[in-house]
Structure 1
Amino acid sequence: MTHLHIFSWVLALALLALVSTFLNSGNLKPAKISHMILRLDYLLILYSGGDLFASYSSYGPAVIIKLLVGIWVIASIEMVVVKKKKGQKVTSWWTQLTISVLLALFLGFVMLPMGILP
């Protein structure tokens, strides 16, 4: 399930880049389609993340914090796209997204047991 979760995060970030590129170039229909696919990817992220949470819930507060940070990442991605569609400033949301992704990567790969460090 870990591989599915990592794949779905990478897919979400790639789709975010795609939606952002379409919105910057003014292609609204492909942006809307890509945004809907991104929203479907959120379901995959939540499913695989929920399964990982159930598997590692005995590891203490780091798992709960990782869950909350993961939800923060999804919310930041969605707000970047929605604000960009409306033509509003997205600088603060990009900053939040960067911080939350780095924090989620740190918690997932360093602090939790299935990370890259022993």
Structure 2
Amino acid sequence: MTHAHITSWLIAIILFLITVSLQRSGSSKAKMVQMVLRLFYILTIITGVLLLHSIASISILYVMKALAGLWVIGAMEMVLAAMKKGKSSTVAWVQWVVALVLAIFLGLMLPLGIDLF
């Protein structure tokens, strides 16, 4: 299940960056790619919930990782919404980077990740 989760969020990040570039160029395909991106949000959340469910003793770090992951998805949607409306997306981009770094750090630090220290 870990591999499915990593694959789904990695594809989601790639699709997010593709959607951003398509929206910037004004392509009509941006909406279609964004719908596929939302499908990968759902896959990422489902695999994350299944991973969380498979852990015998859930610590607060796992809950923080789950919340950081949801924050990443929310920030992605904020970036895309701000870009679509033609508003400044700087705050949303900063949130996305902070949430992504936090989620990846927590994911690597937890026992299902790799040993950082």
The two structures share one fold, judged by TM-score above 0.5: yes
State the distance in 2 between where 1:8 and 1:81 align.
19
Q: TM-score, normalised by structure 2?
A: 0.95
In structure 2, the gaps of 5 or more residues are none
Aligned residues: 116
What is the letter of the counterpart of residue 49 of structure 1? G
Q: Which amino acid aligns with 2:23?
A: L
Name whichever structure is richer in helix by fraction: 1
Distance 1:70 1:8 in 2: 12
Q: Map Cα deviations across residues 15-37 of structure 1 (whole Å, 9 max, x no partner).
A: 1111111111111x200000000
Structure 2 counterpart of 1:73: 72
How large is the Cα RMSD of the aligned pairs? 1.2
Q: Which runs of 5+ in 1 are unaligned?
A: none
Q: Deviations over 1:8-64 (max 9, x none)?
A: 11111101111111111111x200000000011111001100001112261310011
Percent identical among aligned pairs is 41
Q: In 1, distance between residues paired with 2:67 and 2:23? A: 29
Conserved 8 A contact 1:66-1:107: yes
